[in-house]
Amino acid sequence: MTRLPGPFQVVPYDRSRHADGPWRVVSAVFEEYGFPFAENDYDADVAWPDEHYDGRTGWFSVAEDTEGGVVGCVGLTDEGGGEYELHRLYVLSEARGHNLGERLCTWVIEAAREKGAERVVLFSDVHFAHAHRLYERVGFRANRFRYAPDPWRSREWGFIMEFPKDGTN
C-alpha cells in the first residue's frame, strides 16, 4: 500500500465537489475489515450526505487530499436534549498516519460545542480498536455496549464525551 503524502484539509461536504467520495471511503474501510457494505437505508447517509446531514440538525465534513479527493469523512447530528452524535468517522488506509482521525474528531467536538452540546456520543464496531484508542485519546470514554441498528446487528462499543455546564472539559 502506498501512503498518500498529504497535506489534507477538513472541509464541509459539497456534493458538486465530493460526489460519492464518502461512500467510497466507507466502502473501502468495510472491505478492509471484511464487513458487508451495500446500498440500503442504513447506509444511505454516506451515499447522500447532503440529504441526511441538512445543516440544521446534521452536518457532514470530509478530509480531502491536494486534488480534492475524499480520503476521510465524519458526520454530526443533533439528537435533542443537548445530545449530539458522531457518525461515520472513516479514513482510507493509505491516508492514515496524518492525524486525520483526530482532526475529524476535533471538527465534531468543536461543532458540537458551538451548537451548545452537553454531550457527544458515538458507537463503533468492536473490531475498530485503533479508533477506540483515538476516541479515548481525544476525551471520549467507553460507556456501553449495544447491537447496532444495522442489518447485521453488529456489535458496538458506545463512547461519550460530556461538556460541563461551566464550559471546561
Predicted confidence (pLDDT) per residue in 50-72, tens digit: 999 999 999 999 999 999 999 99
> Is 94 strand, coil or helix?
helix
Span 2-27, average pLDDT = 91
In this prediction, residue 89 has a pLDDT band, given cuts at 50, 70 and 90, of very high
Q: What is the pLDDT of residue 36?
A: 75
For residue 78, the model assigns a pLDDT of 98
SS3 of residue 122 by DSSP = strand
Confidence of residue 168 (pLDDT cuts 50, 70, 90): low
* Mean pLDDT score across all residues of the chain: 92
| From 68-77, 105-114, 143-152, 153-162, the region with the lowest mean pLDDT | 143-152
Name which of 123, 50, 127 is nearest 87 in CA terms: 123
Least confident of 23-37, 58-72, 121-135: 23-37
Number of H helices, E strands in the chain: 6, 7
Domain-by-domain residue ranges, the chain? 9-162
Average pLDDT over residues 20-49: 88
Alpha carbon distance 160, 144 (integer Å): 9
Give the per-residue pLDDT at 76: 98
pLDDT, greater one: 138 or 164: 138
Q: For residues 33-51, b (16+ Cβ closer than 10 Å) or e, as one string?
A: eeeebeeeeebebbeebee
In whole angstroms, give the CA distance from residue 70 to residue 17. 9
Contact 156, 148 (CB under 8 A): yes
Query: By C-alpha distance, which of 82, 86, 89, 24 is closest to 58?
Result: 86
- Sign of the Cα torsion 17, 22, 28, 31 reads negative
State how far the Cα of 75 lies from the Cα of 101, in Å rounded to an integer: 12
* Residue 10 CB partners (closer than 8 Å, separation 6+): 61, 62, 63, 72, 100, 103, 104, 107
- pTM score, two decimals? 0.91
Pick 150 or 107 by higher pLDDT. Answer: 107
CATH for 9-162 is: 3.40.630.30
